[in-house]
Amino acid sequence: MDALISLMNHPYLTMKLGLDSESKRKVDAVYPISIFFAFGIYLVFQRYQLRHNSPVPFEFTFPEAADPAWESTQLHEPTLESHIDNPEIQAAMSVPDRRYITAYDPSTGLHLGTYLADNEQEIERKIERAAEAQKTWKHTTFQQRRRVIRSLQKWLVDNQEVVARVACRDTGKTLIDAALGEILTTCSKMEWIIKHGEKALRPETRRSNLMMFYKQSQVHYEPLGVVAAIVSWNYPLHNAWSPILAALFSGNAIVLKCSEQVVWSTTWFLGVLARCLSACGHNPNIVQAVFCYPEQADALTQSPLIKHITFIGSETVGRKVAMAATKHLTPVTLELGGKDPAVILPGTNLEQWASTWMRGVYQNMGQNCIGIERLLVHNDQYDDLWEIFSQRVAKMRVGSVMSMQQAGYLATVEGGAMISNRFFSGLEKLIKDANDANAYVIGGEEFKHPYHEHGYYFSPTVVGPVDADMDIAKEELFAPIALLMPYETVEEAIDIANGTKYGLGASVFGPDQDECLKVAKQLDCGMVSINDFAVFYVNQDLPFGGTKASGYGRFAGPEGLRSLTNPKAIIVDRWPSLIQTTIPRVLDYPLRSLKHSWDFSSGLIRFLYGDGWRTSVNGLITAIGAARK
């Protein structure tokens, strides 16, 4: 402190520039003192921000199976119930009369674990634990919630390679698909919530009218309590963390039911989240995981404690979830299937966008709800587009990034495995029917991998020309299949694009952006990218969802956060000491005169809402006259 005072009184700091500095030296010290005080305040503020907002470091053990050199029991044609016929992978302590779930790597067939499936009673207890923990969590501040997400984001970025390998091991996808579809999108979600989530949820002032000029109206977005998310297997990290992040930031607890196909990875991903919550000083019970077969899911969807359900999956299952939720009128957001078209307008530079279309069709081997399933191209450019796809698809390599080659390196592959072989026969039949109807086919069948004979692979496929009446043009494929559909006029292309029961996403490509926009506005869907693919999901400020059989409701963006809250309208007096609502005598019970009461009411309505100032003035005179009688 003595040194600081000496510095502040140093002649150089206390000397004022100018000829007559001696006469002003007594007040010159104000400037350095002010600077030092301001700097001190800045340091205190920065320390406060660092203490309350900086990420909290934490560690979590990496699973051994994330190592490509890891070895395990080899399963032949693995299924979720492989443990039934294979004593080698049965649980060490089997519980009688209970079901188990076999987890396996679909790209290699290696056994990952055998998990006890939850029954109805266990699901109920998990919901109750979440409800109890939410009583405390709902009182946390936005600053505390942001810190949890910021800590999680730092951990994710720092450990992205391990996270990607975990996702690859459980789904058979490639590292690049994991980086783009799992990590990039999740970081985008986190960034948006950290920067803009509070703005979407803090109390919002609404406008009033002349009659209520002395009132102030607000909408408060309050947590619902315990919400649920039932999510698909294709992006196990993102599909789990995305609804959890939204639920936690809006003050809710959440019960997550993942697909039975990704129990192994989801267990680890939620373990990371629980460790983060504990490191930040919060009860990890606000997030509960349910692992069960569909037969037990009603314990979640029909629970009176669940106040909202987010479902991501197939149309068939989504309808069952929506019906089950009616028992307690639980609101549901449904993100179901898609048959997304890419409308390629005449004159489009095909070579310019070919890579984008390849990514849109074959990312995650087509197991992508907003993947491009139909490429609509003008007749004049159909042959050129077929040539581009046929050449590129012929060079695509499929395989596993979680298996070391004999030379000791990982193979470079563009496509990974399919989650299972359940739908292979159905896909092959659709392709055969199209071929019988004079469509050419490249690929179109199960791929027997020479090094991974126990993995599930489907050949990257091109089918065309495809007619809108073919079954393959109507049904969601969820597979690495490009359908090339020629058209004559733009109006015909729009009709083809809108010709399915789905309406999730779409894209429009063309040399004139204004023309693309005109087409985009005529498409029956929830989201459209112009001269791009699916970027509406990278921008998490946008609502995500579809129409028709692709579901209803939205997640992501302000709409997604607010859907997890109760929007409570609160109205108060603007100047309570000056003016408050009173009942005029002419309207007070018991009414003295029906005529006077009616004249007052009708005159007031004409004054407030009459057409023209004369009507308003006459109404005011009538109301005043009736009130005086």
Q: In Å, how far are 47, 144, 271, 535 from 152, measured between CA atoms?
A: 21, 13, 12, 24
For the chain, the helix, strand and coil percentages under 3-state DSSP, each to the nearest 5: 45, 15, 35
Q: Is there a contact between 308 and 563 (Cβ–Cβ < 8 Å)?
A: yes
Q: Which residues are catalytic?
A: 335
Strand 374-378 vs strand 502-503: parallel, antiparallel, or unpaired?
A: unpaired
Residue 569 φ/ψ, nearest 5 degrees:
-85, 130
Among 439, 403, 435, residue whose Cα is nearest residue 71: 403
Cα separation of 342 and 496, whole Å? 11
Within 10 Å of residue 27's Cβ, how many Cβ atoms? Answer: 10
Residue 550 is given by DSSP the state: T
Q: Is 71 left (phi over 0), alpha (psi -120 to 50) or beta?
A: beta
Cα separation of 312 and 240, whole Å? 10
Q: Within its chain, how far is the Cα of 143 from the centroid?
A: 21
Length of the chain: 629
Among all chains, which residue has been given the structure tokens 């299972």?
Answer: 420
Structure tokens at 53: 């907002």
Q: Is there a contact between 80 and 261 (Cβ–Cβ < 8 Å)?
A: yes
Q: Is there a contact between 119 and 98 (Cβ–Cβ < 8 Å)?
A: yes
Structure tokens at 116: 């006890």
Strand 226-230 vs strand 306-312: parallel, antiparallel, or unpaired?
A: parallel
Structure tokens at 343: 């409308």
3-state secondary structure of 94: coil
Written as one string, the DSSP assignment of 180-245 is IIIIIHHHHHHHHIIIIIHHHHS-EEE---STTTTEEEEEEEEE-SEEEEE--SSSHHHHHHHHHH
3-state secondary structure of 84: helix
